[in-house]
């Protein structure tokens, strides 16, 4: 029952809230007014209930009322559609009570809402305020930290100062102490001297015999410079003064001379430097752009300065130094310019390259020297053993002789070979000529034979019987002809094993010859 | 290099005559004159008491022998051995005696510096100079012998008197701007007189010959000041060594500092060569320890040494001086220019084993010689840039721009070299020990390392 009631209450509240939202404005004042329009327009017929749908309305209202938890207004089973006025009035009263209650809760809720709103506002304000406070305090904190740091630094520096002062004080104390010891020492010494003096005085006063000073010389010796001594007079005094001043003056003279020489040297050097700088700047200006003509002009004007003259006046000296300073400034600016342009790096790079090259060269030379040294060492080592070398030499000579002999024989053989080849070729040429002649003869003979065909027929005997054993390759036809011409025409030299062998003349040898 | 035999001497009194021909030594109360080359005794004189001081006259004809205890000065003649001269100061006493530059007057300073008595040997006349100051170097003769500068103190004020040595005429007398004058020195050309204060204040005054103040130089205040002063032979530079271990060089034109040489304990970042003396102990094996060897000996007791070039950085041993004592052993106490004014040799007292050689042309350190014991004495060769030094052992050390060498003095029984003196020709050295003396003759060829 309780649970149902709470659920119901929740539902009721929800409904109420919805209704409130939908129908009523938050202000209570309007509530009663707004609540009325539904019922106020009694003049206008309510759209809800008409004559026709009374039953439905009733049932609907019943439903609604029951849902609200109130006893029903009308029992449906009852056929008479007459409403029980009492129940209806009770229902209405209950509804009104409900309504009042809901109004009250609405009030409460609104109050609470206001309260919470105001609380929220208050909290927001307080948070912003607190945030500001926090910011403030943070800033203060950093400020304080800064101050603390500064103070600490001050403290440190003051400590340093204090330390220095202490050291100085210590040093001064040491100095005072050493001075005090020195003073004491001196004082003691003086006191001792004084005491000795007093004693002496006493002794002298007491002493009856006073020993006087005396000199005992055998004879006077002459002065060192041989001259006679002079009386002291004003003249001598003046002379002494004069001599003294002379000595001083000569010393000053000498010093001045030295300084003048030095000055001249230095001036020369400065002049040279200035000239060098001028020429250098001029060159550089030419290589760049000759815009600054005025500088050139001034340079020319200064070149007229004659360095050979010894100028003692202050102006000339000043002029020289000023011009030198000017040139130097120019040179400096120029160099700075070059620096900024980056041209300076080139000579440095080339310089580095050159250095590398030179280093390489040096290394190579060193290697070469080393290898040469090694070789030299080897040679020396190898030629160290004299007997072995002599022996080696002997062997070498023998070998050489033998080889020389062989070379000679080879040369001879080669010359012989050449000769033979020459003869050979000549023979070959002759042979070809003779063959040709022979063939022509043959041809003519054949012709004759042919022309004179009938009488002699057994003359066709090969001439092969004359030829002995020699292989005649290629000789097609041998005719009966006296082979004297051919055989005597050439000699064939065949060399076998270094010996010239000659075929006998009588036998014509066709060995080795091919002829067509 | 040849060494003579060792002779006896007393009081470190051995001096070569100014003309370089004779050597005079004192043995107790005897004066011995030897020929410098043959070392043969030429003359022998006998004095009345033990000789405290001995000096040659400038013309090498006379020698004075002073006996301070007795207050006597005896003068001997070389040409006439039987000539005699005796000066008796009487009851007034004698603390110092010296020749005048002309070789005919003797200046005796009486006890307590009451006065200076000028005795003339030509006329037997006597002159007195009152109120001389008792200080480190209160009297100086100019190099040409014309003038004498004397520091005086009257009424608690310092004065300088300049006398003409001819007739002792007082040329100039002026007050100096010093609190307590400690020393004075003529420049070699005789035209400037340098006057310096005691070590309590760093102040050096330069006066011209006629008494005008040319310049004042003060490097710093309050700390201990000037310890040593030296003119360069050309008179161009004045070197001042001070207690702050620095040497300041002034130039003669402006009298302003042109260079400053410092002596740091760690030498680094310099082109100078540092020579370190290394002692080689001879190894003695058991079979060598025979009696013969031990008696023969000097080789066992004296060790050979040689110089080695130390690579940079080099640490020089420093001895901190006692802060409670006066005149502390710190600062540059010895300064010497070479004869051509090219080099300066310095010694810093708290690095007593090192000698520093500076090049004046390049104004930088040239060499440092680190010895095994404290350097006692060094002197430049009068003819060439060669420095000889000794440290109290039996060796002689020589430095030249070509290198340096350590030479053992061959003497029996050990000869400790305490000081040395060059002969004016630069060909020989006199080595003086505690009571012995030895001569060293140089060869013509230069030394090698």
Say whether residue B326 is in contact with chain A using an 8 A CB cutoff: yes
Say whether residue A212 is in contact with chain B using an 8 A CB cutoff: yes
Residue B183 contacts residue B197 (beta carbons within 8 Å): no
Q: Is B241 domain-assigned?
A: no
What ipTM was estimated for this complex? 0.80
Q: What is the pLDDT of residue A386?
A: 64
Candidates A244, A254, A255: best to mutate against B (most CBs of B within 10 A) is A244
Enumerate the residues of chain B whose CB falls inside 8 A of the CB of residue A174: 323
Enumerate the residues of chain B whose CB falls inside 8 A of the CB of residue A217: 84-86, 121, 124
Q: Is B206 domain-assigned?
A: yes
- The mean pLDDT of B74-89, rounded to a whole number, is 91
How many C-beta atoms lie closer than 10 Å to residue A387's C-beta? 7
**How far apart (Å, rounded) are the C-alpha atoms in residues A260 and B332?**
36
Q: Which of A74-88, A96-110, B22-36, B301-315 has the lowest mean pLDDT?
A: A74-88
**How far apart (Å, rounded) are the C-alpha atoms in residues A324 and A320?**
6
Residue B388 contacts residue B406 (beta carbons within 8 Å): no
**Cβ–Cβ below 8 Å for B103 and A217:** no
Residue among A172, A236, A259 minimizing CB distance to B169: A236
Q: What is the pLDDT of residue A322?
A: 85
Tokens of A457: 């027929």
Residue B178 contacts residue B159 (beta carbons within 8 Å): no
Residue among B85, B90, B134 minimizing CB distance to A212: B90
- The mean pLDDT of B312-316, rounded to a whole number, is 88
Q: What is the pLDDT of residue A501?
A: 44
What's the structural domain count of chain B? Answer: 1
Enumerate the residues of chain A whose CB falls inside 8 A of the CB of residue B62: 221
For residue B254, pLDDT over 60 is answered with yes
Per-residue 3-state assignment (H helix, E strand, C coil) for chain B: CEECCCEECCCCCEEECCCCCEEEEEECCEEEEEECCCCCEEEEEECCCCCCEEEECCCCCEEEEEECCCCEEEEEECCCCCCEEEEECHHHCCCEEEECCCCCEEEEECHHHCEEEEEECCCCCEEEEECECCCCECEEECCCCCEEEEEEEECCEEEEEEEECCCCEEEEEEECCCCCEEEEEECCCCCEEEEEECCCCCCEEEEECCCCEEEEECCCCCCCCEEEEEECCCCCEEEEEECCCEEEEEECCCCCEEEEEECCCEECCCCCEEEEEEEECCCCCHHHCCHHHHHHCHHHHCCEEEEEEECCCEECCCCCCCCCCCCCCCCEEEEEECCCCCEEEEEEHHHCCEEEEEECCCCEEEEEEECCCCCCEEEECCCCCCEEEECCCCEEEEEECCEEEEEECCCCCCCCCCEEEECCCCCEEEEECCCEEEEEECCCCCCCC
Nearest to A46 by CA among A55, A57, A35: A57
Say whether residue A21 is in contact with chain B using an 8 A CB cutoff: no
Q: Tell me whether residue B410 is exposed, middle or buried, using C-beta atoms within 10 angstroms of its C-beta: 0 to 12, 13 to 18, 19 or more.
A: middle
Q: Is B124 domain-assigned?
A: no
**How far apart (Å, rounded) are the C-alpha atoms in residues A513 and A434?**
14
B347-368 as b/e: b if 16+ CB within 10 A = bbbbbbbbbbbbbbeeeebbbb
- The mean pLDDT of B18-43, rounded to a whole number, is 92
Nearest to A68 by CA among A16, A109, A133: A16
Q: Is B44 domain-assigned?
A: no
Query: In chain B, what percentage of residues exceed pLDDT 70?
Result: 94
Q: Is B242 domain-assigned?
A: no
How many C-beta atoms lie closer than 10 Å to residue B264's C-beta? 14
Tokens of A344: 């300076």
**How far apart (Å, rounded) are the C-alpha atoms in residues B423 and B15?**
9
* pLDDT tens track for B164-199: 998 888 999 999 999 999 999 999 999 999 999 999
Say whether residue A225 is in contact with chain B using an 8 A CB cutoff: yes
Consecutive H or E run containing A337? helix A314-341
* pLDDT tens track for B355-375: 999 999 999 999 999 999 999
Q: Is B419 domain-assigned?
A: no
Q: Is B141 domain-assigned?
A: yes
Mean pLDDT of chain B: 89
**Cβ–Cβ below 8 Å for B90 and A222:** no
**How far apart (Å, rounded) are the C-alpha atoms in residues A321 and A273?**
11
Enumerate the residues of chain B whose CB falls inside 8 A of the CB of residue A251: 189-191
Domain span holding position B203: 132-226
Which residues neighbour B162 within 8 Å (Cβ) at sequence distance 6 or greater? B147, B148, B149, B150, B170, B171, B172, B173, B193, B209, B211
Per-residue pLDDT of chain A (516 residues), as tens digits, is 556 666 666 666 666 665 655 555 454 455 455 444 455 545 555 677 777 887 888 788 888 888 888 777 666 555 555 667 887 788 888 889 989 999 999 999 999 999 999 999 999 999 999 999 999 999 999 999 999 999 999 999 999 999 999 999 999 999 899 899 999 999 999 999 999 889 888 888 887 777 788 888 877 777 767 677 677 778 888 888 999 999 999 999 999 999 999 989 988 888 888 888 888 888 777 766 544 444 444 444 444 445 445 555 677 778 888 888 888 888 888 888 888 887 555 666 778 888 999 999 999 999 999 999 888 888 877 765 666 667 777 788 888 899 999 999 999 999 999 999 999 899 999 999 999 999 999 999 999 988 887 655 444 444 444 444 444 443 333 444 444 444 444 444 333 434 444 444 444 444 334 444
Q: Is B216 domain-assigned?
A: yes
Tokens of A256: 């001045």
Residue B244 contacts residue B276 (beta carbons within 8 Å): no
Consecutive H or E run containing A150? helix A85-206
End-to-end CA distance of chain B: 14
Residue B394 contacts residue B411 (beta carbons within 8 Å): yes
* Residues 362-381 (A) with a CB less than 8 A from some CB of B: none
For residue B290, pLDDT over 60 is answered with no
Tokens of B311: 């690579």
User: How is residue A465 annotated by DSSP?
Assistant: G
**How far apart (Å, rounded) are the C-alpha atoms in residues A499 and A493?**
10
Say whether residue B254 is in contact with chain A using an 8 A CB cutoff: no
**How far apart (Å, rounded) are the C-alpha atoms in residues A303 and B134?**
65
Which residues neighbour A109 within 8 Å (Cβ) at sequence distance 6 or greater? none
Residue A81 contacts residue A54 (beta carbons within 8 Å): yes
**How far apart (Å, rounded) are the C-alpha atoms in residues B80 and B84?**
9
Residue for token digits 């110089």?
B307
């Amino acid at each position: 029952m309780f649970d149902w009631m709470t659920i119901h209450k929740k539902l009721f509240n929800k409904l109420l809230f919805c209704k409130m939202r939908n129908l009523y404005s938050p202000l209570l004042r309007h509530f009663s007014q707004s609540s009325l329009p539904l019922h106020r327009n009694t003049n206008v017929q309510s759209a809800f209930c008409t004559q026709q749908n009374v039953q439905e309305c009733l049932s609907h209202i019943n439903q609604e009322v029951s849902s609200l938890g109130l006893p029903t207004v009308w029992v449906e089973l009852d056929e008479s559609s007459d409403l029980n006025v009492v129940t209806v009035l009770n229902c209405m009263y209950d509804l009104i009570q409900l309504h009042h209650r809901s109004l009250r809760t609405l009030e409460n809720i609104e109050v609470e809402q206001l309260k919470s709103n105001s609380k929220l506002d208050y909290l927001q304000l307080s948070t912003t305020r607190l945030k500001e406070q926090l910011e403030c305090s943070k800033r203060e904190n950093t400020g304080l930290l800064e101050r603390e740091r500064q103070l600490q630094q001050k403290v440190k520096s003051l400590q340093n100062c204090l330390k220095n002062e202490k050291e100085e004080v210590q040093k001064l104390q040491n100095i005072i102490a050493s001075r005090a010891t020195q003073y004491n020492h001196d004082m003691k010494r003086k006191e001792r001297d004084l005491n000795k003096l007093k004693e002496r005085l006493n002794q002298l006063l007491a002493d009856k015999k006073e020993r006087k000073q005396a000199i005992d010389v055998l004879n006077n010796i002459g002065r060192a410079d041989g001259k006679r001594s002079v009386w002291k007079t004003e003249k001598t005094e003046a002379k002494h003064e004069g001599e003294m001043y002379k000595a001083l003056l000569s010393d000053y003279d000498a010093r001045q001379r030295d300084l003048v020489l030095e000055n001249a040297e230095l001036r020369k050097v400065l002049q040279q430097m200035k000239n060098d700088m001028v020429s250098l700047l001029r060159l550089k200006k030419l290589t760049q752009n000759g815009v600054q003509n005025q500088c050139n002009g001034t340079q020319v004007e200064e070149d007229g300065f004659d360095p050979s003259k010894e100028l003692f006046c202050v102006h000339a000296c000043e002029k020289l130094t000023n011009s030198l300073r000017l040139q130097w400034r120019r040179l400096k600016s120029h160099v700075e310019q070059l620096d900024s342009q980056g041209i300076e790096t080139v000579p440095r790079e080339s310089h580095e390259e050159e250095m590398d090259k030179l280093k390489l060269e040096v290394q190579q030379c060193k290697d070469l020297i080393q290898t040469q040294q090694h070789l030299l060492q080897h040679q020396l080592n190898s030629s160290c053993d004299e007997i072995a070398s002599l022996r080696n030499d002997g062997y070498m000579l023998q070998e050489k002789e033998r080889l020389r002999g062989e070379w000679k024989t080879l040369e001879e053989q080669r010359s012989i070979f050449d000769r033979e080849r020459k003869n050979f070729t000549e023979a070959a040429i002759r042979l070809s000529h003779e063959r040709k002649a022979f063939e022509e003869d043959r041809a003519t003979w054949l012709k004759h034979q042919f022309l004179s065909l009938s009488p002699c027929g057994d003359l066709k005997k090969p001439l092969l019987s004359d030829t002995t054993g020699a292989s005649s390759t290629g000789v097609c036809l041998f005719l009966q002809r006296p082979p004297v011409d051919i055989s005597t025409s050439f000699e064939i030299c065949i060399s076998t094993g270094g010996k010239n062998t000659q075929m006998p003349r009588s036998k014509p040898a066709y060995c080795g010859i091919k002829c067509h | 290099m040849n060494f003579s035999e060792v002779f006896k001497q007393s009081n470190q009194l051995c001096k070569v005559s100014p003309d370089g021909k004779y050597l005079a030594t004192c043995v107790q109360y005897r004066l011995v004159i030897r020929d410098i080359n043959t070392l043969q005794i030429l003359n022998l004189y006998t004095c009345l008491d033990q000789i405290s001081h001995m000096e040659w006259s400038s013309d090498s004809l006379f020698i004075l022998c002073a006996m301070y205890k007795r207050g006597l000065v005896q003068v001997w003649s070389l040409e006439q051995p039987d000539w005699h001269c005796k000066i008796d100061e009487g009851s007034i006493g004698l603390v110092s005696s010296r020749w005048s530059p002309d070789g005919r007057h003797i200046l005796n300073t009486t006890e307590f510096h009451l006065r200076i008595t000028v005795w003339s040997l030509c006329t037997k006349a006597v002159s007195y100079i009152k109120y001389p100051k008792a200080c480190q170097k209160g009297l100086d003769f100019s190099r040409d012998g014309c003038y004498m500068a004397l520091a005086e103190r009257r009424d608690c004020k310092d004065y300088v008197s300049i006398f003409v040595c001819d007739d002792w005429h007082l040329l100039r007398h002026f007050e100096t701007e010093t609190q307590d004058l400690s020393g004075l020195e003529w420049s070699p050309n005789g035209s400037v007189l340098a006057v310096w204060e005691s070590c309590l204040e760093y102040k050096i005054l330069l006066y011209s010959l006629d008494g005008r103040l040319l310049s004042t130089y003060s490097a710093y205040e309050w700390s201990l000041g000037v310890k040593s002063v030296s003119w360069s032979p050309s008179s161009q530079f004045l070197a001042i060594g001070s207690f702050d271990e620095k040497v300041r060089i002034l130039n003669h034109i402006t009298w302003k500092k042109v260079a400053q040489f410092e002596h740091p304990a760690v030498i680094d970042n310099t082109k100078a060569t540092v020579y370190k003396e290394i002692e080689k102990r001879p190894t003695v094996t058991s079979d060598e320890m025979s009696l013969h060897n031990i008696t023969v000996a000097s080789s066992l007791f004296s060790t050979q040494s040689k110089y080695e070039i130390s690579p940079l950085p080099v640490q020089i041993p420093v001895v901190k001086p006692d802060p409670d004592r006066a005149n502390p052993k710190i600062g540059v106490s010895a300064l010497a220019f070479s004869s051509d004014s090219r080099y300066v040799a310095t010694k810093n007292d708290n690095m007593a084993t090192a000698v520093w050689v500076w090049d004046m042309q390049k104004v930088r350190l040239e060499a440092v010689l680190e010895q095994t014991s404290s350097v006692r004495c060094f002197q430049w060769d009068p003819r060439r840039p060669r420095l000889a030094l000794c440290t109290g052992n039996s060796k002689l050390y020589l430095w030249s721009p070509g290198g340096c060498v350590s030479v053992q003095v061959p003497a029996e029984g050990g000869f400790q070299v305490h000081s040395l003196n060059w002969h004016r020709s630069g060909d020989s050295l006199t080595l003086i020990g505690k009571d012995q003396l030895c001569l060293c003759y140089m060869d013509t060829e230069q030394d090698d390392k």
